[in-house]
Amino acid sequence: MNQTIFASTEGRMLGFGLALTGLGLLAFGIGWHLYPDGILPYAIMTGLNLIIGREAGMSFGYASGFGHAQVVPLNILIETIQVLVIYPLFVQSTRHLIKLRTLEPFITRIHHAAESGGGMVRKFGIAGLFVFVFAPFWMTGPVVGAIIGFLIGLRPWVNLAVVLVSTYIAIGIWALLLNELNVWASTVNQFAPYALFLAIMLIAAAVQWLGRHRERSSNGEGD
């Protein structure tokens, strides 16, 4: 069964993504044991990216005094791992090679998001997928974008390349913007960068809540 799961291109992506996840957890574990105070901001930045989004995670990083060299690579790694794990899991679940009941609600939700957002991508192809991944809106981004790429029939490596390149460019632009905002805030008050982080986090969380509320409402109307 394991050989079947990892035999396809998406299966090899999943294997690589799981390996990166394991290495990341090992690095955090070693860092937490040796330098608990130093590793904590990285752990918080990672958690914020996973739960709320890159805006909150990166904003916290800059507010904590990190520069591009710390913030950008970590967020690139986080979002790369998300794509390399969730996208192949989705593909393998559609092929009935993997069935994880705990992930079924999440898989179903991103499947609906991919189907609803796939019209523009299907019309414009690779360019549409690039813009979809790049745009900072609810249920856009790399994971849903990769699933849309699969649904419209892009070859796996083409799909992955478009999604990751768009993601990395978006992270770079967010890095420049958030760093400039952080520099400006620090000239106002020493605590202003954290106030800016809280504002960005609340806005991102509100956008998530509104998106989920709209999604539940549309699903209710569909029923």
Q: Is the pLDDT of residue 139 over 60?
A: no
Burial category of 29 from C-beta neighbours within 10 Å (exposed 0-12, middle 13-18, buried 19 and up): exposed
* pLDDT tens readout for residues 76-128: 999 999 999 999 988 888 877 777 777 777 777 777 767 766 677 778 888 88
Q: According to the model, what pLDDT value does residue 203 have?
A: 87
Sign of the Cα torsion 54, 59, 61, 67 reads positive
What's the pLDDT tens digit per position in 164-222? 999 999 999 999 999 999 999 999 988 899 999 999 889 888 877 776 666 666 655 55
Specify the pLDDT at position 108. 75
Whole-model pTM: value is 0.86
- Residue 125: what pLDDT? 86
**What pLDDT is attached to residue 6?**
80
At 97 the pLDDT is 73
Which has more pLDDT, 94 or 158? 158
In this structure, what token pair is assigned to residue 55?
A: 């805006």
- The pLDDT of 21-49, averaged and rounded, is 93
Asked if the model's pLDDT at residue 22 lies above 80, the reply is yes
pLDDT at 196: 92
178: its two tokens: 């958030």
- Model confidence over 38-73: pLDDT tens digits? 999 999 999 999 988 888 999 999 999 999 999 999
Domain ranges of the chain: 2-222
Count of other CB atoms within 10 angstroms of residue 152:
17
Bin 206: left if φ > 0, else alpha if -120 < ψ < 50, else beta.
Answer: alpha
| Residue 146: closest CA among 111, 191, 176 | 111
Beta-carbon neighbour count of residue 131 at 10 Å?
A: 15
Distance CA 108, CA 31 (A): 35
* pLDDT at res. 192: 92
How many angstroms from the chain centroid is the CA of residue 36? 25
Of residues 2 and 64, more confidently modeled: 64
